[in-house]
Amino acid sequence: MVAKWGWGFGYTDEAPLRKPVEIVASMAAVAPIEAPVKLEGRFKAIVVCWILGFGTLVSWNSMLTIGDYYYKLFPDYHPSRVLTLVYQPFAIGTMVILAYNESKIDTRKRNITGYILFFLCTLALIVIDLATSGKGGIGNYIAICVFVAGFGVAEAHVQGGMVGDLAFMKPEFIQSFLAGLAASGALTSGLRLITKAAFDKSSNGLRKGTMLFLAISTFFEFLCIFLYSFVFGKLPIVKYYRMNAAREGSKTVASDLAAAGIQTEAADNDTKLPDRLSSKQLLFKNIDYAMDLYPLVLISVYNVWDLIARYIPLIEFLKMESRKGLMIAILSRFLFIPAFYFTAKYGDQGWMIMLISFLGLTNGYFTVCVMTVAPKGCTGPEANALGNLLVVFLLGGIFMGVALDWLWIIVLTIWISKIKYLWSGSSKRKTNLHCCKDHIFMELERPTSIVELKGLTIVDLSQNNLIGVLPSRIGVSLKKLVSMFHRIIPMFSSQMGFVMQVASQVLAFIKTVSMGQYSIYTSIANCLNLERLEL
């Protein structure tokens, strides 16, 4: 007789039709086979993966793009930086725990838990704003921080779980998922501009636009819950690959198969399941992929090119699959550091936009190449574990960038404290410290020559009685400093507080490495939180 499977592929067999549980048990000793060419649901799976990727980061990207609203509510609490610092430790901490125990965790429950947590936390942001009528206060700020921590936990559940789940399926699926991640940044930026423009002239327009924006994000999270729970797992091609993983000994797909109507049971005692590499062995085997750090650049042009680049590997002859070639190309991205330094020092805005575009282009391209190439040759359980490990190191690189950004705020705050102490104790002249929108500078009653004060170099800018304060041990001699000032001063008008403009030239290297959202002189002004201070 002809027996046709309900999973989307068929074959002819004279033997009577057997139950799925018998098939799964007997499959354990059979080597993996290639997917049938006409397996159904491939295009639907690609679309669903894109939406699931979009939903993985849409909530967090929403928080970043509505930063102007939270700065209005909490001007003294640095919401953009604090929320990032709250989010990242919870994301990477949870991801490490889940990656360590990935073989024992049910992937279906893990992913659904993550999307539900995204949905509840995003909805809670709307509820708390409506309940307080859009008022600030430390209590509301702490509550928002708690929900942002929930975003971090949810991302660890979803991103690692989905990458691990898709790692043993077709490369097009994980590519589509990663493209959705990038699209969330680009589309949320554009959507935020639209909502802000739509309510710009209305009463309390900033808040209305933010609420609409969060409502849209909440809808997408609910859509992800529905798609993953009731659509994705029932696609024939997805069921096929999960059956393949179960045949190779994977225990993480059991509930996914059960939800699709396929019950699995352990193989016979004499059936030998293929051994899987441990997480430690996988890490050392793929250390060249795991150690690559991807910078987080929160600007629209970066997100757009990052999104475009994630579709380039779909063109077969443009996809890089050589492990050595990928390693060399990824390490060559360190050349962006001097490139950003010289562009910031000598280039104009056009060159900087081009450089950042290329940064996003390479980031998206190499992300897809690594995530799709690394699992090749691994069994289902190994691919799942490797996907989790790659996400751990991806989040680790992002967290290091955030930590560096905060490090320089702390260092600059210490510098300011030293400046106020030294000048209040060692100078008898009346000294005022001024802060304007983007600049901070000191004003003296009369010009000052170049002097050394306990590790600080004080340099006079003569005509405007402004002085720049830099640490003495920055590897630049006083002679070079003076020469640099003479070259830079004519570039600025007398009305500008250009001391920090000069300092930013010296610290441009630090700025480009930390890739902070705000410039160094804005950070100092925020740390002081004042307009004028008499020392």
- For residue 372, is it within any domain? no
- For residue 412, is it within any domain? no
pLDDT in tens, the chain (535 residues): 333 333 333 333 434 444 433 434 444 444 444 455 456 778 888 899 999 989 888 888 888 777 778 888 887 777 877 887 888 888 888 888 887 776 677 878 888 999 999 999 999 999 998 888 888 788 888 999 999 999 989 988 888 788 877 877 787 888 888 888 878 877 877 777 777 777 766 767 778 888 888 898 899 999 999 998 888 888 888 888 877 766 765 555 555 555 555 555 443 444 444 555 555 565 555 544 443 333 333 356 777 777 787 777 777 777 777 778 778 887 887 787 788 777 767 766 667 777 878 888 887 787 777 776 666 656 656 666 666 666 666 666 666 665 665 565 566 556 555 555 544 444 444 444 443 333 334 433 333 333 333 343 343 333 333 334 444 333 334 344 444 444 444 443 333 333 444 444 444 434 333 333 333 333 333 443 333 333 2
Total domains, the chain:
2
Q: What is the pLDDT of residues 230-275, one digit of tens each?
A: 888 888 888 888 777 667 655 555 555 555 555 554 434 444 445 5
- For residue 119, is it within any domain? yes
Last residue of one domain, picked from the residues 236, 266, 296 = 266
- The pLDDT, as a whole number, for residue 181 is 82
- For residue 184, is it within any domain? yes
> What is the distance of C-alpha 322 from the center of its chain?
26
Q: How far is Cα 305 from Cα 353, in angstroms, rounded to an integer?
A: 11
Last residue of one domain, picked from the residues 222, 250, 266 = 266
- For residue 31, is it within any domain? no
Task: Report the DSSP beta bridge partners of residue 434.
Answer: 441, 532
Q: What is the pLDDT of residues 470-502, one digit of tens each?
A: 443 333 343 444 444 444 444 433 333 334 444
Q: Give which of 177, 101, 186, 115 is closest to 150, Cα–Cα.
A: 115
Write out the residue range of the structural domain in which residue 118 sits: 43-266
Helix axes of 42-65 and 138-166: crossing angle, nearest 10 degrees: 160
Q: How far is Cα 216 from Cα 187, in angstroms, rounded to an integer?
A: 12
Q: Give which of 368, 303, 232, 387 is closest to 60, Cα–Cα.
A: 303
- For residue 126, is it within any domain? yes
CATH number (domain holding residue 108)? 1.20.1250.20
- For residue 129, is it within any domain? yes
Amino acid present at 132: T
What is the model's pTM?
Answer: 0.52
Last residue of one domain, picked from the residues 224, 245, 266 = 266
- For residue 257, is it within any domain? yes
Tokens 């008499």, residue?
534
Helix axes of 349-373 and 336-346: crossing angle, nearest 10 degrees: 170
